[in-house]
Structure formats: structure tokens, C-alpha cells
Amino acid sequence: MALAGVVVTAFTLRLAVSGVSPVLGRITDELHLIPGEAGVLAMMPSLGFALTGVLTTLAMRRLGLEALLVTSCGLAAVGTVARALSPDDVTFVVLTFIAMCGLGMGNVVLPPVIKKYFPHQIAALSAIYSMLLGFSTATAPLFAIPLADAAGWRVSVGSWGLFSVAALLPWLVLWLGARRSTPPAPPEQTPDLTTMPVAVVAPASTAPVKPWRSRVGWGVALMFTGTSANTFAMFLWLPRFLQDMGFTEHTAGLMLSYYAILAVPVSFAVPFLVRRFGNTVVLGLCTVVLYATGYLAVLLWPHAQVGDFPLVWVWITVFALAQASFPLSITLINARTRTTAGAGALSGFGQGLGYFAGSFGPLMFGLLFGATGSWWPSFGYLWVMLGVLSVGILMTGRHRYMEDRAAR
């Protein structure tokens, strides 16, 4: 049941995020979104993720992981469906924030859930989790425009809430089961693999964990800052940039989907690479180089061709593979902590602070373009955020555990 919950929930966590940008023009036309509101809308995923990163950490011990996931899926479902029925621009933005808060809770809770239920399959489950995030990010833009053409943008935007309803069910079963039977907490020791079932439950420490006192904690926060600023800017603005370069709406939507789908193979590979090598500096800095190189190429040569083949697909491939920085950030939450409590604290702190700082990425990207009429300053801001990502990579690269310093 926990495995089903992880799989379905992971698939839902980006559908409502990436499913809006391909039809943003239609939403703007009907609800009369002004440029400032579009910029605020661009910040909603990161702001929702940031707020719930802090609040979820505070609620985790009192409510439990399963109860939080029930709440997460419920908020995401209600917010996603309700915003599709929005009568005006302000309501759409507010309900988007509610939906993003629900998804943000899932972001924070799933890593410690994996550590709790699957402590000896963390690399495999982290790979599946990250891969499904990428797959869901690609799925929504691929179907958003066909759904909007067939039934309107409201159906296209609201349909993703049905997946959150499906994700709610396994967590509801686990939560109700936990309320009926509350066995004593197991001791803080390594489980015996010869006697434990396939899904063993990792113990949770009662010691206070303070990630803000740890180099690892701040490093993970910086990684989420740089990663979210870049990826959310692309999710929102890549179709607009490509259309401005002369590509059609359908082609731009297809390219966004292609950008997102390439996160799937790298998301699957990264957790195993982390487990294999331990030190992650080289892997992390490779993603920075890919980001920077791909951005530069698409700005300089958007219409370059080799024969009849447009090289823009190559440029997108390059900076799409750089999305490995996100599963790397996620994987380090478990790889750099010893306990479920530590993973929960690091997840909340790193994602909360990182997503808040990164939320200005898509806003600044749009404001810089609006102010200058050129895409170069917008991508220049993303290059600055790559510097932030690099610092975080260097701070978390060496194999160490956050609790060794943060729990003092």
C-alpha cells in the first residue's frame, strides 16, 4: 500500500504545475490576466512549496506522515479542480496557490516516507520517485493543448485534480490503519535483513534535528534554490520564448514536453550514481555546465539546422539533461541523513527555504524580458542562479551526515 501511495503521489506532484503554461495564453484571454498577475502566477508553485516546506516540518511529528499525505492530496485535488472553475483572475491565482500548497506538502513528506517504509531500498525508491516526477511534468504539457482544443482550457487545467484524488486513497487506508493500531516505536537500530519483510520501517529519532546548523542543510537549500529557479522558469516561459523565436504554439508545447520527459532517464540514474560514488561534486557540476551551455546555444542559434534537422532539439536536450540537479537534490535528503526525523527536517528546511528563494526565478525571468524586450537578461539571471546551485553542490558533495553536526 505504501509503495502504491509513493508511486501514484509522485506522478501527481507536477501535473498541475506544468499543465498550465501551454494554455496560459487562453487563460489570459478569458480571465484577463495582467502581466503582473502572470508573474505572480509564475511564483505560485515555488511559494506554495516553500510555505508548506516550513509548516509541514512543524506538523510532521504531531500529525504523522500518512495524515499529512492525506491532507496534501486533498488540498491538491480541491485546488486544482476549483481553479478550473474560477470566474476571474484573482480567484484563479488564489486557488492555484492552494493547489500548490497541497503539492508542496507531498514534496516534503515523500522523502521521509521512503526512508520510513523502505530504508533498504532508498536508491531504488528515490529513482522511481524522481523518475515519476519527470514523467508527470512531461505528461501534462503533452496533453494540455489537445484537451483544451477538445473541451476547453478549464477541462484541461482541472482534469489533473483527478489524479490527486487517486493518490489520496492509499494514504487514507494507511492513516486509518495507523489510527486503529499504534504499536510501540521500534528502537533506533539497524533492522535485521534476514527477518524483516520486504518493506521494513525505519525508526524515527526523537532527538531534535536542526538543519540550519549544518553545512549539509544549507547546501541542500542552495541546491533547491538554484534548481527550482531554473526549472520553474523553463516550465512557465520556455513555450513563450520558443513562440517568440517563431515556433508555433503546438511545437512549443511539444518542445516543453520533450524538455520535461528527458528528466525521466536522468532521474532514474542519479540515485544509483549517488549510492555508487558517494561524492557528488562532479555529478552536480556537470549539470551546471549542461544548463549554461544549452541556454547559450538556444539563444545564439535557435534556428540553426543540419540538413533538414533543426538543432534547437539538440540545445533543448542539453539543458534538459541538466535537470539531473533536481533528483540529485532530492536524493541527498536521504543520502545525507541517518534517520527518518533527520530526513523530514532536512526535507522541510531545504525545500522550504530553497523553493522560496527559487520562486523569484520565473518572476525575474519574465520581468527582465518585459523591461528590456530581450531574452538575454532573463537567461543571465538563470546563469546567476547556476552559481548558487554550484555553491550548494560543493557544500553537499562530500559524504557526511547532517545529524552529526545539526543535532547538537
The confidence score (pLDDT) of residue 383 equals 95
Q: How far apart are CA 164 and CA 53, in angstroms?
A: 19
**Lowest-pLDDT choice from 7-21, 24-38, 174-188:** 174-188
Give 244-291 pLDDT, tens digit per residue.
898 887 888 788 878 888 888 888 888 888 888 878 899 999 999 999
What is the rounded average pLDDT of the residues 47-75? Answer: 81
**Lowest-pLDDT choice from 36-50, 249-263, 351-365, 383-397:** 36-50
Show Cβ contacts of residue 311 under 8 Å, excluding neighbours closer than 6 positions: 297, 301, 304, 305
Of the candidates 167, 396, 166, 141, the residue with the CA atom closest to the CA atom of residue 284: 396
Q: CB–CB of 311/305 below 8 Å?
A: yes
Q: How many CA atoms lie within 13 A of 153 on its CB side?
A: 16
Q: Where exactly are the structural domains of the chain? A: 2-180+200-406
**Lowest-pLDDT choice from 56-60, 99-103, 200-204, 266-270:** 200-204
Which carries the bigger pLDDT value, residue 328 or residue 145?
Answer: 328
Q: How many CA atoms lie within 13 A of 381 on its CB side?
A: 23
Q: Within a 10 A sphere around the Cβ of 130, how many other Cβ atoms? A: 27
Identity at 323, one-letter amino acid code: Q
340-358 vs 35-63: helix axis angle to the nearest 10? Answer: 170
Is pLDDT at 140 greater than 70 in this prediction? yes
Q: How far apart are CA 382 and CA 400, in angstroms?
A: 29
Residue 305 dihedral angles phi and psi, to the nearest 5°: -140, 155
The confidence score (pLDDT) of residue 194 equals 36
Which carries the bigger pLDDT value, residue 299 or residue 240?
Answer: 299
The confidence score (pLDDT) of residue 408 equals 42
If DSSP codes are grouped into helix, strand and coil, which group holds residue 158? helix
CATH number among 1.10.1060.10, 1.20.1250.20, 3.20.20.70, 3.30.110.30, domain 2-180+200-406: 1.20.1250.20
Q: Which of 264-268, 315-319, 359-363 has the highest mean pLDDT?
A: 315-319
Check residue 331 and report its DSSP letter: H
Q: How far apart are CA 146 and CA 337, in angstroms?
A: 43
Which carries the bigger pLDDT value, residue 312 or residue 18?
Answer: 312
What is the rounded average pLDDT of the residues 216-237? Answer: 89
Q: CB–CB of 399/278 below 8 Å?
A: yes
The confidence score (pLDDT) of residue 207 equals 52
The confidence score (pLDDT) of residue 346 equals 85
Is pLDDT at 403 greater than 90 in this prediction? no
Q: CB–CB of 244/299 below 8 Å?
A: no
Give 330-339 pLDDT, tens digit per residue.
889 888 888 8
What is the rounded average pLDDT of the residues 234-248? Answer: 87
Query: 342: which 3 cell numbers?
Result: 533527520
Q: Mean pLDDT for the chain?
A: 83
Q: How far apart are CA 171 and CA 53, in angstroms?
A: 19
Give 178-222 pLDDT, tens digit per residue.
666 554 444 444 334 333 333 444 444 445 567 778 888 899 999
